[in-house]
Structure 1
Amino acid sequence: MQRTIYILLTLLALLMLYPFWNALVISFNLGSDTALGGVTLLPRAFTLENYYIVFQDDRLLNSFLITILRTLSGTALSVFFTALLAYGMSKKTLLFRKPYMVFFMITMFFSGGLIPSYLLIRSLGLLDTFWVLIIPGIISVWNMIVIRTFFSALPEGLEESAKIDGSSNYGIFFRIVIPVSGPVLATISLFTAVSYWNDWFTGAIYITKDHLLPIQTLLRQVMNSNIMTQIGSSNAIALDHMNRNRTITTKSLTMATMMIATIPIILTYPFLQKYFVKGVMVGSLKE
């Protein structure tokens, strides 16, 4: 029975992995050869031309940098403020604790709507700014609940001992609670980083300046338009190379761009894997 489960899970994993692997293979294959069909598991005509053209586009490199800065700063700020909120909500002595929790949970199922949100962002002067990519999603109620559950499970003796020694609430939070919360904070950091990295909608709605577009928003624009006029359009060397080399196709460039946007966030998982399992188990516990 156990062997059957392993086989089924392996097949399921391979089924999910194949589309990504096929896109990776196509990104390393000549576009003209890919157009003939039959490129599946290995490149039939290996080339790096697709990546050469893509990396010549200044907008892509700028969007890549914007996305990295957004992910790093957004994740740090989000985890910090979410943990602060979770710490307060984990206290049973907090006045109106349950009404606050109900209020927070309502926002998980109902939003103010796209138009009111846009008007709010505009009134705050955040349109076409870097901060509009961070602030709207800086607090996640779901992440707060997971962290709060972990904080609630901590022994009360830890905080009581610290209070006897004269530590303040902030001292307890930063010197005791945070250091012992590594697994859950690492897990929430992973969730938040993936969310910021993959978010294209915020950039599509609130950003009109090319130099502030996240890479996912740029990728969506590229895939929804004539890629030959998008990729390399800001670089004369790339344009000349494309005009002379007719082996480049829309599909091959799209796959190369997709890999550049996808692989970095995938590479972070192995470093956080040991915390990921612990954090998910913590989040499954009820208070």
Structure 2
Amino acid sequence: MKINMFKRKTKADGIFDVINVLIMLSICFVTIYPIWYVVVNSFNDGMDAMQGGIYWFPRQFSLDNYKAVFANTGIIQSLGVTVAKTLIGTIVHVFFTAMVAYALSKKELIGRKLYLTLGLITLFFSGGLIPYYLLLRDLGLLNNFLVYIIPAAFSFYDLIIFTAFFREMPISLEEAAMIDGANEFKIFLKVIIPLSMPVFATIALFHGVYQWNDYFAGIIFVNDANLQPIQTYLFRIVAQSSGNQMSNLTATGVVKTTTSSSIKLATMVVTTAPIVCVYPFLQKYFVKGMMLGGVKG
């Protein structure tokens, strides 16, 4: 008995497809348009933008807002801090979390269940901001670049993903390496890491996006303007939209037609553009990362 795999669509199927497409287009519009609105207004003359009515394209195209942004050395300094903490923080986080996960993936590890239980508790409970602040103060991490790196070097959530992946790897690979005289650390470097690049890419993307977007650490733990990331700088621009803050941005005399709002929009574009451009090419790793360890082949 043959089954017709190409069943003709009914009228109800056509209506469903139309409704489904309309819903998806609406969701896309609601998601994308706010970003488009920010970009359009950032490329418009600031004084003209105050009149409103700019929705789809710049009415008076101008690059003055971006000239004001890049003329300010504070923004360039903050952007450099963000790039540095994203690169260094991601490498340290991935490598350190992977080492801990590799150890906890071994059932023969003494105290393994205790370590996993303690880590699981941290997913639901924390000591609070004040004890955390006092701890970092006593460790000498306040107003220190390492405050972006050391506290974020480990994540139990990422450890779970790593552990699930490591458990699926054939034990025969490690046994063969041991026969050749490799110790645990050499096995991790020469065998485990090369075979685990998908999960490493996943966690690197997770943490890289976090490091790039994080502004809270710069607000609470860093008072030195030279160590504040671009997201913290943007937060302060948005929070202080009065004339004093903007006069510092335009003190170079490069522009005269900008406003506090137009410069804020341009700053938003500058700070978010790099991660927005990278994310679409790496988004598949988010989906793959959530499925790692879920199905055994």
The alignment's C-alpha RMSD in Å is 2.0
Q: Where does residue 268 of structure 1 map in the other structure?
A: 278
Instruction: Tell me how far apart the structure 2 counterparts of residues 189 and 110 of structure 1 sit (CA, whole Å).
Output: 25
Q: Where does residue 183 of structure 2 map in the other structure?
A: 168
Does 1:59 pair with 2:74? yes
Aligned partner of 1:213 among 228, 253, 262: 228
Q: Secondary structure at the match of 1:233?
A: helix
Cα deviations across residues 204-228 of structure 1 (Å, max 9, x unaligned)? 0111111111111111111111354
Amino acid at match of 1:278: K
Gaps of 5+ in 2: 1-12
Does 1:198 pair with 2:208? no
Q: Equivalences for 1:60-209 in 2 at 5 Å?
A: 60-209=75-224
Gaps of 5+ in 1: none
Aligned partner of 1:277 among 256, 266, 287: 287
Aligned partner of 2:52 among 22, 37, 49: 37
Instruction: Tell me how far apart the structure 2 counterparts of residues 150 and 56 of structure 1 sit (CA, whole Å).
Output: 47
- Cα distance, 1:283–1:194 mapped onto 2, change above 3 Å: farther
Kept in 1, the 8 Å contact 2:67–2:254? The answer is: no
Kept in 2, the 8 Å contact 1:187–1:276? The answer is: yes
Instruction: Tell me how far apart the structure 2 counterparts of residues 253 and 17 of structure 1 sit (CA, whole Å).
Output: 21
- Cα distance, 1:9–1:86 mapped onto 2, change above 3 Å: farther
Length-normalised TM-score, structure 2: 0.88
Q: Where does residue 5 of structure 2 map in the other structure?
A: none
Amino acid at match of 1:80: F
Q: Where does residue 259 of structure 1 map in the other structure?
A: 269
Instruction: Tell me how far apart the structure 1 counterparts of residues 171 and 23 of structure 2 sit (CA, whole Å).
Output: 44
Which one has a larger percent helix, Structure 1 or Structure 2? 1
Q: Where does residue 39 of structure 2 map in the other structure?
A: 24
Identity, % of aligned positions: 44
Amino acid at match of 1:84: M
Instruction: Tell me how far apart the structure 2 counterparts of residues 158 and 108 of structure 1 sit (CA, whole Å).
Output: 32
Q: Which moved more, 1:249-258 or 1:163-172?
A: 163-172
Instruction: Tell me how far apart the structure 1 counterparts of residues 295 and 74 of structure 2 sit (CA, whole Å).
Output: 45
Cα deviations across residues 139-177 of structure 1 (Å, max 9, x unaligned)? 111111111111111122221222222221111111111
Aligned partner of 1:249 among 241, 259, 265: 259
Q: Secondary structure at the match of 1:184?
A: helix
Q: Equivalences for 1:3-22 in 2 at 5 Å?
A: 3=17, 5=20, 7-22=22-37
Instruction: Give the superposition deviation at 1:8.
Output: 3.1
Kept in 2, the 8 Å contact 1:199–1:216? The answer is: yes
The number of equivalent residue pairs is 281
Q: Secondary structure at the match of 2:196?
A: helix
Length-normalised TM-score, structure 1: 0.91
